[in-house]
């Protein structure tokens, strides 16, 4: 691979919070060349440096792209560089909402537009790439923001309302719901405000409706052995899409992260297939 330059910075969101962000681009960038952009949206209990994400962003940058990976403001990771892969802010994680993640994504695009000359990026060529819950965010943002020119989702959910009525009732009663992070053994609390946001912003957060309105080229990739988000989610999304613009790619014998783990232990055949397919699509 060629040398990749990485610029780490903090982008202010509309709420005044800082989004830890890494921007990568080829080191041998020509003086007057503007690069197409790929923005990564990480998923639930995820972050910009999870597992294969830095490797994937470097691979894509190596093909002549500016890649942008950021942490959502309330994803639970810390502000300092050594805390950006650790859940040290579970107080923020508890208060996170889908609408906040959509707003954060918009703030990143705002920043890229405002600084396009300095960053040497082509704002007419922006791809948004989302994984898992981040796939849902990427779909919603593409439907509501005309500045996005291409969409790629990996292991994406087809709906954010994935909770039973019984669970929501208990959640409301307690005011919070707790999940175990099996990797870190942390108990991670989610406040009922997540459900309130989902109900209050039902139309804005309707992924299945949004996907039917998307009028730009899009690629859906999913593993057939995904036990976190079943591949029927990918089939549901594709069934509602404009087939002239959307492509569905199911990858056999692989799961939610295509064999990649955190900390990253190297690539896998399935991950390589994903990366090559993404590069082929965005080129």
Question: Could you report the per-residue pLDDT of 22-77, keeping only the tens digit for each?
Answer: 999 998 877 778 999 999 999 999 999 999 999 999 999 999 999 999 999 999 99
**CB distance 165 to 141 below 8 Å:** no
Burial class (CB in 10 A: 0-12, 13-18, 19+), 188: middle
Instruction: Please say if the pLDDT value at position 238 is more than 80.
Output: yes
pLDDT classification of 2: cutoffs 50, 70, 90 = low
pTM: 0.97
- Give how far Cα 52 sits from Cα of 55, 87, 246, 271, Å: 5, 18, 25, 9
Domain 4-161+203-282 in this protein, CATH class = alpha beta
CA proximity to 130, closest of 233, 27, 2, 243: 233
Q: Which of 56-60, 105-109, 181-185, 206-210 has the lowest mean pLDDT?
A: 181-185
Q: Which two tokens stand for residue 100?
A: 């906040």
Q: Which two tokens stand for residue 1?
A: 């691979």
pLDDT classification of 90: cutoffs 50, 70, 90 = very high
Helix, strand, coil percentages for the chain (3-state, nearest 5): 35, 25, 40
Instruction: Please say if the pLDDT value at position 148 is more than 60.
Output: yes
Phi and psi (nearest 5°) for 19? -105, 115
pLDDT (average), residues 102-123:
97
What pLDDT sits at residue 1?
Answer: 55
Q: What is the mean pLDDT of the chain?
A: 96
pLDDT (average), residues 157-177:
97
For residue 127, the cross-strand partners are 38, 150
């Amino acid at each position: 691979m060629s040398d990749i330059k990485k610029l780490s910075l903090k982008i202010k969101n509309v709420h005044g919070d800082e989004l830890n962000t890494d921007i990568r681009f080829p080191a041998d960038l020509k003086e007057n060349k503007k690069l197409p952009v790929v923005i990564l949206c990480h998923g639930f209990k995820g972050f910009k440096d999870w597992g294969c994400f830095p490797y994937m962003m470097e691979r894509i940058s190596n093909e002549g792209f500016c890649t942008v990976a950021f942490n959502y403001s309330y994803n639970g990771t810390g502000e300092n560089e050594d805390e950006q892969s650790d859940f040290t802010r579970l107080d923020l994680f508890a208060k996170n909402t889908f609408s906040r993640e959509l707003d954060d994504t918009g703030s990143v695009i705002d920043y890229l537009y405002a600084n396009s000359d300095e960053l040497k990026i082509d704002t007419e060529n922006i791809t948004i790439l989302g994984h898992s819950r981040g796939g849902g965010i990427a779909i919603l943002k593409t439907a509501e923001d005309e500045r996005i020119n291409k969409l790629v989702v990996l292991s994406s959910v087809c709906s954010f309302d994935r909770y039973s009525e019984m669970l929501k009732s208990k959640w409301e009663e307690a005011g919070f719901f707790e999940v175990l992070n099996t990797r870190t053994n942390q108990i991670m609390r989610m406040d009922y405000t997540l459900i309130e946001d989902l109900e209050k912003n039902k139309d804005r957060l309707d992924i299945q409706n949004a996907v039917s309105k998307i009028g730009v080229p899009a690629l859906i990739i999913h593993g057939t052995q995904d036990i976190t988000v079943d591949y029927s989610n990918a089939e549901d999304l594709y069934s509602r899409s404009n087939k002239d613009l959307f492509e569905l790619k199911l990858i056999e014998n692989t799961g939610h992260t295509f064999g990649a783990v955190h900390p990253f232990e190297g690539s896998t055949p399935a991950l390589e297939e994903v990366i090559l397919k993404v590069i082929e699509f965005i080129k």
